[in-house]
Amino acid sequence: MLTFILGFLATCGIGLSAFLLLNEFKTKVAIERRERDSARRIYELAILREIGDRIGYSLDVTQIVDIITSSLHQFIEYAAVSYMIIEPEKVMFKMHLERSVHRRFVTDVRDRMLSSLGALLDREFKKDDVKEILSGAILLEELDEPVSSFFNIPLVIGDKVVGVLTVSDTKSGLYKEEEMTILYKLIQQASKAVTSLQAVVKAEQEKVSAMVESMEDGVVMTDADYRILVINPAAKRIIGKEGQKDITIFDFIDNLGGKMDMRGRLEESVKLKKNYVSERFDINGKFYQAFVLPVKTETKLNADDVLGGVVIFHDVTREVELERVREDFTSMIVHELRTPLSGIQKTSELLKLPAKKGSGPQTKKFVDLIYQNSSGMLDLVNDILDAAKLQAGKFEVQLGPTDINDILENRKQFFEVSAGDRHIKLETLVSKDLPKNIPLDQQRIKQVLNNLMSNALKYTPDGGSVTVSAFVHDPASSVATETAKLRLALPSPLPENAFPANKHSLVVAVSDSGIGIAADLMPRLFNKFQQLNNAAFVSNIKGTGLGLAIAKGIVEGHGGNIGVVSQIGSGSAFYFVIPFNDTLLTPKA
Amino acid sequence: MRKILVIDDDQTFRELISSGVDKNKYAVATAADGVQGLEEFTKNKPDLILLDIMMPRMNGVEFLEKMKEAHGEQKVPIIITSNDSSLDTISRGAELGVRGYIVKSNESMKTIMASIERVFTESEK
């Protein structure tokens, strides 16, 4: 019994220890498996990372699949790894043999791959379309073993099947779930990388092409054989081929007409990697400067390889125009200063001659000439200084209570002599309700009136008339009523919108019965140097062309605005409007 | 009495010539632009014309063209007196048969007067 018990106990003990042992074994197995699993996972990760790194930023599917297949034997057993990729005109079939096989093995795998590719894409491929490349072990006639294990993975990039990848062997029962999972992951990762990379590249390309498209500069890129790869609308516009497709370098050569040797400069850029900046040249009335640059690759493999050239046409028309205006202005100033200076010099030369009998009136005449010429020069210098102030944006006015009627009468007297010489009727017309204490810069307003009145006299034929008028504009009334009340005849009514809507304002107008101004010229009249920019003016009227620009600056310095209405043949009216405080008005009874 | 016609928009120059010449030898008529110049030419039949180039209404070159149109070869000697010293204008003037070219601001009254004298002494030979 005891033996039994002992035996039982022993058995139990054995059983227990056996139980314990079994448990221990199980744990050990579990640990081992876990270790193996984690080792495998680490390995897997390491391979994935390695392959990922090697794939890098390649966009070439073939290159990526080559990288994957060359690393695959590290963790999957196969006699052959192969891939099939659809290319524009053929199907590329590439197989790498780890072991020698029979030719039939290769053909069998190839046919199976082609049919699964056809099934995936729902398309029929001909066997003749396949371009085959074999590598690795040699084919052997005596090893006639069939394909016993075969596993196919579709290669998908951006939701599109681009090919299949296959592992195959003569041994059966290979390619269990575990290995295939790794393969799937690999392919997935590669596919994901390429897909996202393609998206990035596409977005970048779109950005670049949108930029090139919308650039104002003309951009033309050619390959190393000077075939145009990229051309933007601006470049087409320059040679007058807007909207035309298929533009070649000859279109440019024809239109440049030898002004810039585009072909020769591109050749220099491509062959000698030289940058070139052209002189200015003109095509179809516009001026350009061309930049020719080589296009280099930046991959490490082919550092500094020249792919072609880029020509950028930079529009410099505006600069050329500005330069011209500046040159014209300078030569105008020189001319306008030289004439009176030379007059003064010659007058004094005559004055230096020994006095003749009865030289009294002669001397007075010469002194008058010197006085006139030096006054003219002083006016010109003052105009230039004023224009410089305008340019610097600091036209300051010194306001003081002013009776505009006094200024008008004063100017009328000043111009009466020259008007009378030419039988021009010079009149003033002032409304009675004008406040006598409007804050104005008297000297500056005189300057404006000098300018407007001398212009009016200049452009009015002998026997005509010039009227200087002033009145108050009431925002509650209309300018038309106010001018009618004053019996002021204007060549054209003043625009109601030129007057402040919530304040009373002083309106001064200088109207004439002169030649009038063409409508298209009016908006530019108050621009600086305008007279110079208009050939019709230059040949007829002398002057700096600064007067109206300065007048505008002065009126704006008073918070007002200046304008003109005109009718060709019947005359012009220049007017300025200066708002003032309603408190200045005499209260109505 | 020789007659000189001064066509120049610069009043000072017109007066300087009028006052500067020997009044016993010369009579001076003046015009402020080409249009007036043509009028004065018909009215006064001058023996010499001093002609400015840059003038309003009708400039000197236009005046020369009009003269050639109306009278064929320039029979009356013309001296251009201008500050425009561009080659274009000078050669255009030569084409249109002018006798001399004086850049006003570069020359003294004495030289200008001497040029006037020379034209007459040459034409007398």
**Is residue A281's pLDDT more than 80?**
yes
Mean pLDDT of the A202-207 span: 80
* Mean pLDDT, residues A407-434: 92
Q: Which of A529, A517, A506 is nearest to A573 (CA)?
A: A517
Q: Which residue of B has its CA nearest to A331?
A: B84
- Residue A5 confidence (pLDDT) above 60: no
Contact A284, A240 (CB under 8 A): yes
Is there a contact between B105 and A342 (Cβ–Cβ < 8 Å)? yes
- Select from B53, B81, B105, B116 the residue whose CB has the most chain A CBs within 10 Å, as the one to mutate to test that interface: B105
Predicted confidence (pLDDT) at residue B41 exceeds the cutoff of 90: yes
Rounded to the nearest angstrom, the minimum Cα separation between B83 and chain A is 8
Mean pLDDT of A204-230: 85
Residue B47 tokens read as 């023996």
Q: Closest to B59 (Cβ–Cβ): which among A339, A350, A539?
A: A539
Across the interface, whether the CB atoms of B83 and A342 are under 8 A apart is answered: yes
Average pLDDT on A118-143 reads 88
Q: Among A175-189, A227-241, A524-538, whose mean pLDDT is lowest?
A: A524-538
Please tell me which residue of chain B has the smallest CA distance to A371: B12
Q: Do B16 and A343 touch (CB under 8 A)?
A: yes
Confidence class of residue A2 from pLDDT cuts 50, 70 and 90?
Answer: very low
Judged by a CB distance cut-off of 8 A, whether residue A335 touches chain B is yes
Give the model's confidence band at A424: pLDDT under 50 very low, under 70 low, under 90 confident, else very high.
very high
For B85, list phi and psi in degrees, rounded to 5: -110, 25
Contact B34, B57 (CB under 8 A): yes
- Please tell me the predicted confidence (pLDDT) of residue A403: 93
**CA atoms of A34 and B90, how far apart (whole Å):** 105
Asked which of A23-32, A329-338, A443-452, A513-522 is least confident by mean pLDDT, the reply is A23-32
- Count other Cβ atoms within 10 Å, centred on residue A585: 14
- Determine contact, residues A473/A507, Cβ cutoff 8 Å: yes
CB contact under 8 A, B19 and A365: yes
Q: In chain A, what residues touch B63 (CB-CB under 8 Å)?
A: none
Nearest residue to A257 via CA among A243, A240, A232, A270: A240
Q: Residue A316 half-sphere exposure, CB side, CA atoms within 13 Å?
A: 17
Rounded CA separation A415/A441 (Å): 20
On whether any CB of chain B is under 8 Å from the CB of A536, the answer is no
> Cα(A489)–Cα(A407) distance, rounded to whole angstroms?
21
Q: With contact defined as beta carbons under 8 Å apart, do A405 and A434 qualify?
A: yes
Please state, in angstroms and rounded to a whole number, the distance separating the CA atoms of residues A428 and A408. 7
Of A332, A339, A534, which to mutate for an interface test with B (greatest number of B Cβ within 10 Å)? A339
Q: Is residue A269 a contact partner of residue A222, using CB atoms and an 8 Å limit?
A: no
Residue A11 has pLDDT above 60, yes or no: no
pLDDT exceeds cutoff 50 at A4: no
Closest CA to A252 of A242, A263, A244: A263
3-class secondary-structure state, position A110: helix
Pick B109's closest partner by Cβ from A350, A373, A541: A350
Of B94, B9, B107, the C-alpha closest to B51 is B9
Cross-chain residue pair A338–B109, CB shorter than 8 Å: no
Sign of CA dihedral A471, A472, A476, A479: positive
Which of A342, A347, A539 shows the shortest C-beta gap to B105?
Answer: A342
| Statement: residue A520 has pLDDT above 90 | no
Q: Residue A51: its pLDDT value, please?
A: 61
Flag if B12 and A541 touch (Cβ within 8 Å).
no
Report CB contact under 8 Å: A346, B9: no
| Domain containing residue B39 | 2-124
| Banded model confidence at residue A355, pLDDT cuts 50, 70, 90 | low
Residues in chain B with CB shorter than 8 Å from the CB of A346 are: 12-13, 16, 108-109
Separation CA A454–CA A574 (nearest Å): 12
User: Out of B13, B20, B59, whose CB is closest to A343?
Assistant: B13
Please check whether residue A459 touches B, CB under 8 A: no
Q: How confident is the model at residue A428 (pLDDT cuts 50, 70, 90)?
A: very high
One-letter amino acid identity for A162?
Answer: V
The per-residue pLDDT for A21 is: 59
A542 touches chain B (CB under 8 A): yes
pLDDT at A64: 74
**Helix orientation angle between A2-55 and A61-72, rounded to the nearest 10 degrees:** 150
- Model pLDDT for residues A222-264, shown as the tens digit of each residue: 888 888 888 899 999 998 888 888 888 888 988 888 888 888 8
Of B9, B16, B56, the CB nearest to A347: B16
CA distance B121 to A144: 125
- Chain B interface, Cβ < 8 Å to A: 9-13, 15-16, 19-20, 54, 56-57, 59, 83, 104-105, 108-110
Q: What residues in A contact B57, CB-CB < 8 Å? A: 539-540
Smallest CA-to-CA distance from A449 within A475, A430, A432, A433 is with A430
In terms of DSSP bridges, do strands A425-430 and A465-473 run parallel, antiparallel, or are they unpaired?
A: parallel
**A228-231 and A281-283 strand pairing:** unpaired
CA distance A117 to A448: 88
pLDDT band, very low/low/confident/very high, at A40 (cuts 50, 70, 90): low
pLDDT(A121) > 90: no
What pLDDT, on a 0 to 100 scale, did the predictor assign at position A430? 93
Q: Is the pLDDT of residue B39 over 90?
A: yes
Q: Which residues of B touch A462 (CB under 8 A)?
A: none
In this predicted structure, the answer to whether residue A12 has a pLDDT above a threshold of 50 is no
Note whether A9 contacts B: Cβ–Cβ < 8 A.
no
Q: What is the three-class DSSP state of B86?
A: coil
Amino acid type, A30? A
| pLDDT top residue among A275 and A331 | A275
Provide the pLDDT for residue A174. Answer: 81
Quick check: A540 contacting B, CB < 8 Å?
Answer: yes
Q: CB–CB of A572/A564 below 8 Å?
A: yes
CA distance A109 to B88: 88
Q: Does B83 contact A339 at a Cβ distance shorter than 8 Å?
A: yes
* Average pLDDT estimate for A176-188: 77
DSSP strand pairing (A130-136 vs A91-97): parallel
User: What value does the mean pLDDT take over residues B58-66?
Assistant: 92
In three-state secondary structure terms, B114 is helix
End-to-end CA distance of chain A: 145
Name the residue of chain B whose CA is nearest to A351's CA.
B20
Task: Write out the two tokens for A585.
Answer: 């008005």
C-alpha distance from A367 to closest chain B C-alpha (Å) = 11
Which positions in chain A touch B15 (Cβ < 8 Å)? 365, 369
> 3-class SS at A286?
strand
Domain count, chain B: 1
Give residue A158's pLDDT: 76
Contact across the interface for A343 and B20, Cβ inside 8 Å: no
In a 10 Å sphere around its CB, with 0-12 CB exposed, 13-18 middle and 19+ buried, how is residue A376 labelled? Answer: middle
Between chain A and chain B, how many beta carbons pairs sit less than 8 Å apart?
50
Instruction: Count other C-beta atoms under 10 Å from residue A98's C-beta.
Output: 16
Q: Where are the alpha helices (DSSP H) in A167-294?
A: 177-214, 233-238, 249-256, 262-272
Strands (E), A369-449: 400-402, 425-430, 438-440
Buried b (16+ CB within 10 A) or exposed e, A104-129: ebbebbbebbbebbeeebeeebeeee
Lowest mean per-residue pLDDT among A290-299, A327-336, A349-358: A349-358
Residue identified by tokens 């880029």 is A310
Provide the β-strand partners of residue A577: A507, A561
- Residue-wise pLDDT for A535-587, tens only, equals 333 333 445 668 888 899 899 999 999 999 999 888 999 999 999 988 888 76
Closest by CA position to B33, among listed B16, B4, B57, B3: B57
Contacts A339 to B, Cβ<8 Å:
10, 12, 83, 105
Of all residues in chain B, the one with the smallest CA distance to A363 is B19
Which of B20, B105, B110 is nearest residue A338 as measured by Cβ atoms?
B105
- What's the CATH number where B22 sits? 3.40.50.2300
Q: How many CB atoms lie within 10 A of CB A530?
A: 18
CA nearest A340 in B: which residue? Answer: B12
Domains annotated on chain A, with CATH: 55-200 (3.30.450.40), 215-315 (3.30.450.20), 320-392 (1.10.287.130), 400-584 (3.30.565.10)
- B10–A343: do the CB atoms touch at under 8 Å? yes
A366 contacts B54? CB cut-off 8 A: no
If you average pLDDT over residues A389-405, what whole number do you get? 85
For testing the chain A interface, which of B6, B9, B16, B53 should be mutated: the one with the most A CBs within 10 Å? Answer: B16
Q: How many other CB atoms are there within 10 angstroms of residue B116's CB atom?
A: 25
Quick check: B40 and B31 in contact, CB under 8 A?
A: yes
A347 Cα to chain B: minimum distance (Å): 7
Query: What is the average pLDDT value for chain A, to the nearest integer?
Result: 82
Which stretches of A353-421 are DSSP H helices? 360-391, 404-421
pLDDT score of A543: 58
The alpha-carbon gap from B28 to the nearest alpha carbon of chain A, in Å, equals 16
Angle between helices A404-421 and A442-459 (to 10 degrees): 30
The answer to whether B6 touches B18, Cβ cutoff 8 Å, is yes
- In angstroms and rounded to an integer, the radius of gyration of the C-alpha atoms of chain A is 47
Q: Do A350 and B108 touch (CB under 8 A)?
A: no
Rounded to whole angstroms, the Cα distance separating A73 from A81 reads 9
pLDDT at residue A392, as a whole number: 76
Tokens at A250, concatenated: 């000859």
Give every CB contact of residue A233 below 8 A, 6+ residues apart in sequence.
Answer: A213, A242
Q: Is the pLDDT of residue A214 over 90?
A: no
Task: Give the model's confidence band at A10: pLDDT under 50 very low, under 70 low, under 90 confident, else very high.
Answer: very low
3-class secondary-structure state, position B76:
coil
Q: What ipTM did this prediction achieve?
A: 0.84
- The pLDDT of residue A322 is 84
Is the pLDDT confidence value at A531 over 70? no
Question: What six digits make up the tokens of B34?
Answer: 């080409």
Residue with tokens 């030719």: A103
